[in-house]
Structure 1
Amino acid sequence: MIAAFGGWNDACQAATDTVRHLLDVYESREIGHICCDSYYDYQSSRPMLCNVQGHRRIVWPETTFYEVTAEPETTFYVAMGPEPNFHWSDFCQRVLRFADECDVTNIITLGSMFADCTHTRALPLSHTCGDDDDASDDSYCGPIGIPTVLNYQAAEDGFEAESLWASVPQYLGGDECPAGTLRLLNELSALMDFALEDGDLAASAEKWRLQADMLVRCNDDLSDYVHHLEHLMDEHGEPDASDVPVPHAKQLVEETEEFLRSFDHPAAPED
């Protein structure tokens, strides 16, 4: 079972877009869901009013499970929904009970985070196994999200549990990151020992990089920041955030979002 949750754990939607991609390229069917009332604060995860086949209806936040058929003999399950606000331990146990009912033995959680990395290099990816204290990123101490809690509980309950996290450049916050989605998909392929179809993700990732290149060329502050990151990565590997001068980080992100919106929707020419 592959699980991804929107919100804090899902920078630029790279994690949940991985699940959406799998649902788009393979035959799938909804097989269950976890109802919302006990787990969500509707002021932070608001219901949506939608038109469904000509009828207006309220769509409540919930976690949905799908069975995905990649080949006649290759079936797996995915779970996706907003990160719950309440009762995380109970929520994770419900996910694991559902996995057990489907005879799942392996659970892979996906996440994406903003980091001091650049679009000009391969996006960093973290891979941990269950509650393994010898993982490469075991120096981290700080807040965690529902993928980490689910991963640990899965390992404690006897599942083979692994977690994949892609890093996304913080200066490109607010937009989708197909390069991060492709990075997660490729690592999933390796873990599952199955070549998952990437569809148009490679082309979308290249377009994303070209847009970011244009943004960097048009913003001297951002260009200096990216070149500094590249220098640190070339010399020392992934940089420590404390080593990177980002005096105008919020401003750079806001300018990035405004630029990308204008790139996708260019202004009409003046008469």
Structure 2
Amino acid sequence: MTTPAQPSSPGPRLVHIVDEVPELAGVQALPMIVSLEGFLDAGNAGAHACSHLVGQGAFSEGGGAVVATFDVDQLHDYRARRPPMTFARDHYEEYDAPRLVVRLLRDTGGSPYLLLHGSEPDIRWEAFCRGVLEVVERFGVALVVSMGSVPMAVPHTRPIAITHHANNPGLLTGSSPWRGELRIPSSAQALLELRLGEWGHDAQGFVAHVPHYLAQLDYPRASVALLEEVELAARLTIDLTELREQAEEREEEINRYLASNEEVRDVVVALEQQYDTFARAEEEGSSLLAEDEPLPTGEEIGRQFEQFLAGLEGPEESGGGQ
């Protein structure tokens, strides 16, 4: 077992925190939502959810007051994830620098909350966690709630499953679909939850299971599912009307494509059969493995949906950035 990092200074100003935030004076039980772009963001579910929150809950023009900023230069691997910029005929302009900030927002009922969003750190995860600890303790954050999404071999025609997790069992609001232990790749977001628990701060999170043939698209249905869980956990009220409309439009696009492409439809039907067999076995307490229902491989679905992705992700398609 590794020894937890001590909550000491994060180093040479890794995080810059606003000295005074009058809007938070006297606020009790302040929640902070966390969603980092990168590893845990299949279907851009977290990024799209953050964009929606910023648009819905901003204090003022510009997307909400920034109350803390991380020095991304100390955290970002520019050669691994090169930020986009514009070359206009004979010169460079519009460099989209990666950002990692904490915004102060309000829900539809006027309750304040914090949103930590931006690029997942590539390096110095322990220092990043200590930086977040500074934010938590400076503003008296009572609960940290994270959002994430992963690609899974599930059909889009079935309910979106959510993995619930927390560093305090009393925070869990749903049962886990997993049995036993899993060895998985770590993330800065996962490490943050672990470290906060070791330092005596509550943190929980939700991971949406996104159909892996849609993982490269904006998939707002997963964003809706995540924010519904966040509402309950953080005791917030979020207007999801616009996001639900976007989700319905995307579902209609998918269904129109499937109706005209029998080969791709067969792949989805196979996933549905696998999913339903799994669900029946779970209810009956029998084997969770579907017999005689081979699951299509990622390569197979990737080939089948190559045209699908090209058709839906046209030049006018907007991303989930904020």
Aligned: 1:23 with 2:74: no
Contact 1:166–1:183 (CA under 8 A) maintained in structure 2: yes
Report Cα offsets for 1:115-161 as digits up to 9, x if no partner.
111111111111111276x9723532121222111111111111111
What SS does the aligned partner of 1:126 have?
Answer: strand
Give the equivalent residue in structure 1 for 2:4.
none
* Alignment partner, residue 254 of structure 2: 212
C-alpha distance in 2 between matches for 1:263 and 1:227: 30
Q: 1:257 to 1:73 in 2, by over 3 A?
A: closer
Counterpart residue type for residue 13 of structure 1: N
Report deviation, 1:59: 4.3
Q: Cα offset for 1:61?
A: 1.7
- In 2, the alpha carbon distance for the partners of 1:120 and 1:263 equals 27
In structure 2, the CA distance between the partners of 1:73 and 1:260, relative to structure 1 (3 Å rule), is closer
Report percent identity of matched pairs.
22
Structure 2 counterpart of 1:85, one-letter code:
D
Whether 1:107 aligns to 2:144 is yes
Structure 1 position 122 matched with structure 2 position 152: no
1:19-168 superposed matches below 5 A: 19-27=50-58, 28-49=64-85, 58-70=95-107, 74-130=111-167, 136=176, 137=178, 139-168=181-210
Residue type of the partner of 1:36?
V
Q: Which residue of 2 aligns with 1:250?
A: 302
Q: CA 1:240 to 1:91, structure 2 compared with 1: closer, same or farther past 3 Å?
A: farther
DSSP 3-state at the match of 1:3: strand
Give the Cα separation in 1 of the matches to 2:315 and 2:66: 36
Query: For residue 53 of structure 1, what is the aligned residue in structure 2?
Result: none
Gaps of 5+ in 1: 51-55, 266-271
Bigger Rg over Cα: 2
Which residue number corresponds to residue 241 of structure 2?
199
Q: Is the Cα–Cα contact under 8 Å of residues 278 and 289 in structure 2 kept in the other structure?
A: no
Q: CA deviation at 1:87?
A: 1.0
Q: 1:240 to 1:93 in 2, by over 3 A?
A: farther
Structure 2 CA distance, aligned partners of 1:48 and 1:230? 38
- 1:173, distance to aligned residue in structure 2 (A): 2.9
Once residues 205 and 289 of structure 2 are traced to their aligned partners in structure 1, the CA distance between those partners, rounded to angstroms, is: 22
Task: State the alpha-carbon separation in 1 of the partners of residues 109 and 205 from structure 2.
Answer: 27
1:2 aligns with 2:33: yes
Range with bigger deviation, 180-189 or 37-46: 37-46
Native 8 Å contact 1:119 1:212 kept in 2: no
Taking a change above 3 Å as real, the CA distance of residues 256 and 106 of structure 1, as seen in their structure-2 partners, is same
Distance 1:90 1:117, change over 3 A: same
| 1:62–1:240 CA distance, 2 compared to 1 (3 A) | farther
Distance (whole Å) between structure 2 residues aligned to residue 264 and residue 45 of structure 1: 23
- SS of the residue 1:45 aligns to: coil
Q: CA deviation at 1:176?
A: 0.2
Q: Residue deviations 1:37-57, cap 9 Å, x none?
A: 22111122334447xxxxx56
* Partner residue of 1:185 out of 218, 227, 231: 227
Amino acid across the alignment from 2:40 = N
Q: Quote the residue 1:226 is aligned against.
A: 268
- One-letter identity of the residue aligned with 1:258: A
Give unpaired runs (5+ residues) of structure 2: 1-31, 59-63, 87-92, 283-287, 318-322
What is the DSSP-based 3-state SS (H/G/I as helix, E as strand, rest coil) of the residue aligned with 1:141?
coil
**192 and 243 in structure 1: CA distance in 2 versus 1, 3 angstrom threshold:** farther
- Aligned pair count reads 261
| Cα drift, residue 72 of structure 1 | 6.9
SS at match of 1:171: coil
